[in-house]
Chain A
Amino acid sequence: MRCKCLTSIVAGVLAVTFVSWTSGAVHAATPPDGAVAPARISGRSPQDATPTTTPIKHLVIIFNENVSFDHYFATYPNAPNPLGEPAFTAAPRTPSVNNLANANLLTNNPNFTNTANGTDAAEPFRLDRTQANTADQNHAYTAEQQAYNGGKADLFPKFTGKGTSGGVGAFGTKGQVMGYFDGNTVTAMWRYAQHFAMSDNAYTDTYGPSTPGALNVIAGQTNGLQLVATTKKPSTLAAVSYYMNDGQAGVTMINDVDPGYDVCSVPADQGMMTGKNIGDLLNDAGITWGGFMGGFNLQTKNANGTTGCKRSTDSAIVGAKVVDYIPHHNWFQYYESTANPTHARPSSMRTIGYSYEHDGNTRDRANHQYDLPDFYRAVKAGNFPAVSFVKLPAYQDGHAGYSDPLDEQAGTVELINFLQQLRDWRSTAVIVTWDDSDGWYDHTFAKPTNPSADAEADQLDGPGKCGTGTPLAGVQGKPVNGRCGPGTRIPFLVISPWVKPNSVTHTLITQASVVRFIEDNWLHGGRLGDGSFDAGAGSIMDMFDFSSGGKAVPIYLDPVSGDPVSKPPRP
């Protein structure tokens, strides 16, 4: 075994030596910034040695897909527990959350009574565990604004109703956007909420789908899109596209487009972002970090024989093969400084998280972008980066239409079971949150703090109106359109020994609050600037209790049922 490892390390090193890095401008040879991999891992880890504001030395962000808060927590903590399904009984003193049940909106819902929804009008309804495989909803920037209808949140069936149909065994109905799961399906999420901390007031920074969410959670900024290739015109009501003019001769990304130059991207439509993301700041400070995207390693061959960009996994629940890697979810690929467009492999597990190999000169080819198995391998080998952004392979990311809550639960639970067994768990926090709401109904509305007034794309308060006032600056320092938000409410869980167990915070936070936490913990409160949402984002610090000594106890769950298991499962 040892021999094999050595051989592969040698091979990796040789590969680095002989493969010339074509994008030289990005990866200048002199290291002014970026961490250098240690020659070997022993004693106190570099992450533990790095000063932090809190006892948290490792942050793992599990960034799942397309769930609104009410879609998973509408009746929390009460579930009907039908025979044969994982049963859920609330712990004593479970705090009340702002959901459909407590807002008394399970019946006489305005989405049912507002006749503008036509025959799609529907009351909220329970989705059964057997209905985990649902159709996908419309979650475009403009459609979501229209569904919120100036804050009345009563036009979801009309504007974000059914999109694609899902697999052959999927459930679909008119008004399906009103469906919600409960503790008999998203059992693990409910159990984590019971044992750790949850927010019931977390929002996407802007309206819109995956890519804007992916950018906001690392950069708090969706302005500054550069079109690498496009077949589209700026978004209009009639012809939706992924970008709009920002009103200052620039472009804001409002919907999904693949990252430029990524070998897996659709050639005809690609974009890159100008400006900085949190990876740049971590590099400046020499802090280890990584983006761990399921499906990123193009050399891996799956059990079904697929490999490369088309690598896929068969999901028994979806009833289909689902491609593992989705380029338009890959946060860091949109920035030249943090991209790995060829999906180059790290030279070894020891360089995971680092900009340079241990010689201090050789730029690691992966440039902080890895596959999810790399995370497990590196951490098992004692190399646990300070900040890890994780995207599960697509069939597990929770996105209706090609993934589902049960596959999502399996991937999420497996990772959290693994992390809770680490010696480093005592200095770890896991954030589980989502990139957008999928358009699923949620009853709460956050009045936009950052307005936008594009005549076509903005419709929240009528044509050309989403909030009032002057918008934040874009990357060029001038107020820009296209970032109207907060957008839609999403679940947000923090799992760590340091959280307040079974607590629910009501502080308004957004995806950029993740950026802010990283900055507050590792970077002395430094900010990205250039109009990033990080400057005004709420703090998640009230979900923790750092005076407690970190006593929230781990809970190990069965990945399939979400029920607790007594023994920590072997990873």
Chain B
Amino acid sequence: MLLAALTGGLLAVVVRSPLPLDAWAAHPQASFLLSLGKNPFPVRLVRPPVAPLSAMAQLGRQVFFDASLSSSGRLSCASCHSPEHAYGPPGDDPVMTGGAILSRQGLRAVPSLMYLERQPNFSVGPDDDETENVSPALLAAQSFSAPRAKKTARDTAQSAANLVPQGGLFWDGRVDTLQDQALFPLLSPFEMDGGSIEAEAARLRQAPYAHLLIQLFGAAVFESPRMTVAEALFAVARYQIEDPSFHPYSSKYDAWLEGTARLSQAELRGYLLFNDPAKANCAGCHLDQANGDGLPPLFTDDQFEALGVPRNMALNVNRDPAWFDLGVCGPIRNDMADQTQYCGMFLTPTLRNVATRRVFMHNGIYHTLQQVMDFYNLRDTDPGAIYPTGAGGKVEKFNDIPPSYRTNTDTVDPPLDRTLGEKPANSEQDLQDIIAFLKTLTDGYRPGSGGGAP
């Protein structure tokens, strides 16, 4: 009687759990722990070393928050990369505005500055340390004819060999170092609008921290404007590298990886869908496992993708029907214009802290995770729900990419391999569960505080 009750109870656990039966059969113990929301295979995560900020990083912090470096006197790095918003945009405008009177619209949504401390240089895959002298353009040229492995959450090693661009910073990977990255917003006329290197060097010379620059680099630092700006921006980069707030790895998911947190049933279902090649398959690109030496997952494979999100008519620049932001192949990036096979490709961002954002995709078209989920789920099965309908009643799928480049879009990685009218890969409940899981990626988890940050 007792045995029967126990068996019955166990069966109920098995049947009610989101785990497939073959998982139960192959790994009963692990499946049992997982069904309770526990990580059956906890790992020890190796986080970046934490030490008091160096003099360099302390200088960098002052530069990071210095609005006097902008023509308006009102924008600093922290204005768009808000520390309170995971170093991403503070509001839900698709792009930020800047310039002398903060009236000029940017071209792309502000990416987070978090979790870039391991970002690889821009290159065209596969990873190959020996070919250091081969130019990205040459490798890119080879990729015209190269086959591409399908990306699935179960086999990311295979797609790591794809001849696609990877790494770098900005949505188009156009620079490799945080120092070089910092220069663009400093000088961009629709951001901090600094005018010129010389003008910024002059501002730095007047800054309250000018003495720190001299202390670290000698009095000669102000003799060359280029050197002044390079050193100041390196200090900013160093602040990002050293300050733990840029890479705390303190989410509930990190705790779960280490075996100290339990996922709720919704989060667990979301996690399984996230990793299921037949369902959401998010982990095909947004890698979610710690690697061999315990470095926490970054939730990106650092590769570029052409998703073909809808054109965002909230961007003034998009009123010009001839204007297209094509990512790797331009027009902001200008060294890969001939590599038209990359037109429409943008860098896959981390999903850490994604639930704190209110702006998604390179053009800021989406403002909720639900919209993002719908895009992946319905782009191919019901494009009418995603894209506008044109004059002739025709759905304008991929309307933010010129027709000749639309074949660059990803139509092989599930769930983007479905066809019109086919059943979407995920149900509405599935999408809610994935969102519940995404909320576990928010930093600042404290045991007992539920899903995301306190």
Interface residues, chain A, CB within 8 Å of chain B?
80, 82-85, 107, 119, 122-123, 125-126, 128-131, 164-175, 258, 265-266, 302-306, 312, 314, 316, 319-320, 322-323, 326-327, 402
Contact = CB atoms under 8 A, between A and B. Distances in A.
A480 to B, nearest CB: 25
Q: Which 4 A-B pairs have the closest CB atoms?
A: A305-B292, A173-B230, A304-B293, A130-B56
Contacts of B241: 169, 319
Contact of B55 (A82, A125, A303): A82
B177 interface: yes
Contact of B293 (A305, A319, A327): A305
Given A165-B121, A173-B227, A305 B216 contact: no
A325 to B, nearest CB: 10
10 contacts: A82-B215, A123-B224, A125-B227, A126-B218, A168-B118, A170-B177, A171-B179, A172-B177, A258-B130, A303-B292
B276 interface: no
Interface string B204-236: 000000000001111011011011001100100
Contact of B220 (A85, A125, A312, A402): A125
B173 to A, nearest CB: 11
B374 interface: no
Given A82-B55, A128-B56, A304-B293, A168 B117 contact: yes
B286 interface: no
Given A125-B218, A130-B56, A304-B292, A168 B226 contact: no
A258 B130 CA distance: 9
B220 A266 contact: no
B176 A123 contact: no
Contact of B121 (A167, A314, A323, A327): A167
Contacts of B180: 165, 172
Contacts of A327: 130
Given A82-B55, A130-B57, A170-B177, 9 more contacts: A122-B224, A125-B217, A130-B54, A167-B177, A169-B238, A169-B241, A170-B176, A172-B179, A302-B292
Contact of B177 (A85, A169, A322): A169
Contacts of A323: 129-130
A314 to B, nearest CB: 6
Contacts of A84: 52, 54-55
B333 to A, nearest CB: 15
A215 B372 CA distance: 57
Contacts of A165: 121, 175-177, 180
A128 B216 contact: yes
Contacts of B312: none
B48 A316 contact: yes
A82 B216 contact: yes
Contacts of B116: 168
A129 B242 CA distance: 13
A129 B55 CA distance: 10
A85 B224 CA distance: 26
**Chain A interface helix/strand/loop/mixed:** loop
B163 to A, nearest CB: 16
A303 B49 CA distance: 18
B177 A266 contact: no
B291 interface: yes
Contacts of A122: 224, 227
Contacts of A322: 129
Contacts of A306: 292
B22 interface: no
Interface in B282-329: 291-293, 295
Interface string B55-77: 11100000000000000000000
B114 to A, nearest CB: 13
A320 B129 CA distance: 12
Interface string B238-257: 10111000000000000000
* Most interface-central of B129, B291, B293 (chain A CB within 10 A): B129
A119 B118 contact: no
B208 to A, nearest CB: 19
Nearest to A112: B224
Nearest to B117: A319
Nearest to A313: B293
A318 to B, nearest CB: 10
Interface string B152-187: 000000000000000001000001111110000000
Nearest to B116: A168
Contacts of A82: 55, 215-216
Contacts of B227: 122, 125, 173, 175
Contacts of A265: 130
Given A319-B117, A320-B118, A170 B217 contact: no
Contacts of B132: 164
A123 B177 contact: no
A107 B220 contact: yes
A304 B291 contact: yes
Contact of B226 (A171, A173, A320, A326): A173
Given A169-B237, A174-B226, A319-B241, A314 B52 contact: no
Contact of B120 (A172, A314, A320): A320
B131 interface: yes
A402 B226 CA distance: 25
Contacts of A130: 54, 56-57, 238, 242
A123 B54 contact: no
B119 interface: yes
A214 B238 CA distance: 34
B49 A316 contact: yes
A455 B231 CA distance: 40
Contacts of A85: 54-55
Contacts of A167: 121, 176-177
A174 B220 CA distance: 15
Nearest to A301: B292
Nearest to A119: B226
A304 B178 CA distance: 25
A223 B295 CA distance: 45
A172 B121 CA distance: 14
A131 B220 contact: no
Contacts of A166: 176-177
Contact of B130 (A128, A173, A266, A319): A266
A17 B227 CA distance: 63
A322 B118 CA distance: 12
B444 to A, nearest CB: 24
B374 to A, nearest CB: 33
Contact of A83 (B55, B218, B230): B55
A166 B132 CA distance: 12
Given A173-B227, A306-B292, A314-B293, A168 B234 contact: no
A125 B221 CA distance: 8
Contacts of A305: 291-293
A170 B179 CA distance: 8
Nearest to B230: A173
A173 B221 CA distance: 13
A135 B216 CA distance: 19
Nearest to A401: B132
A128 B121 CA distance: 22
Nearest to B291: A304
Contacts of A83: 55
B226 A175 contact: yes
B156 to A, nearest CB: 13
Nearest to B121: A165
A243 B175 CA distance: 32
Contacts of B218: 80, 125-126
Contacts of B130: 258, 265-266, 323, 326-327
B381 to A, nearest CB: 38
A164 B120 CA distance: 13
Given A82-B215, A175-B226, A175-B227, A169 B117 contact: yes
